[in-house]
Structure 1
Amino acid sequence: MTRDIKKLAKEIRKEEASLPLHHEANFERLLLAELHLKKTKRISVKWISIAASVAILISVCSLFFLKNEEEKIPENIPVKEMTLGTISPEFNTIETYYVNSINLEISEIEIDNSNKELIDGYLLKIAELMNEYTLLTKELNTKGVNNATIDAL
């Protein structure tokens, strides 16, 4: 059972492996067929142009819709108006003092036939002053804060 390694090597050399006929040609043919079988897939220019067109269409449509939404201003949001009280706390205290004084004096007056005409005249004058006050407040809101409007108020 024991064999000498030198003898084994000599026997192997004698039995040199021989390849079948046309082995090399068959190998080259199969190798070329295998290499050229797998083609890389190319995305066609047609599909790229379609995708680009769709992307441009979506972006243009979204711009128009977003622009229209920005232009729409809700009408039911109240706009905070500027008054003397919002300009300065001192003006606010003066304004409330005079309004409360006028309301207190009006509530203390007893109306009878003798002073009815006088009271109606004063109430008309107060109504005119209130109209003028609202006009000046609107002017304050539109033109902004200026000394002439504040002095008039």
Structure 2
Amino acid sequence: MKQDLREMMRNAPDEKQQLSAGHEDRFAAMLAKEFGTEKQKTKTPWIQWAVAAMLIIGLGFFGWNAINTPSIDGVEMVDADTVTEVDKQVTMADISPELKQIENFYKTSINVQLASLEFSEENQELVDGYMQRLGDLDNAYKQLSIEMAEVGPTEATLTAQIDNLKFRLELLFKLKEKLKELKNQNNEQFNSIQA
């Protein structure tokens, strides 16, 4: 007894059902009673004026800046004196994805090693010396990045940057080893005093 719904609709008599008289009027009256016919007014119209004023001021500010920024064919002009060294640097990541992976590997390893260092008053002088050397290497790395921006990437510059990162990582490993030796030495002295 399965019947196709489409077949049933085709074979059904064409009957239009009529609503009872006054149905629409009763429904409209019920809606008016339930929801009211009068539009509610806001109790604080000054908020609307304040929002409108803020919107106009904001759009005016951004429009003024857009109009008064010098540009040539849609390219923003930058005063050469305001360009900082950071703007002049080119990183290995700017050159190729492989170099980006190498740079990220070394920088992540350096940050992990720095985070795992254990500082104390006893080893502060040793740590400060190594940190000074790491700072010098970081400045040299930045200089190489600036040189790469000015001259362009060369094999010598890229090799120097990678060697700089390697040396920083090796320096941190040496520092950790020295700190471990210093800690063991202090533990041995403490144990010999107790014995």
Question: Which TM bucket (shorter chain)?
Answer: 0.3 to 0.5
TM-score by length of 2: 0.38
Q: Which has the higher contact order (CA 8 A, sep 6+)?
A: 2
Structure index of larger Rg: 1
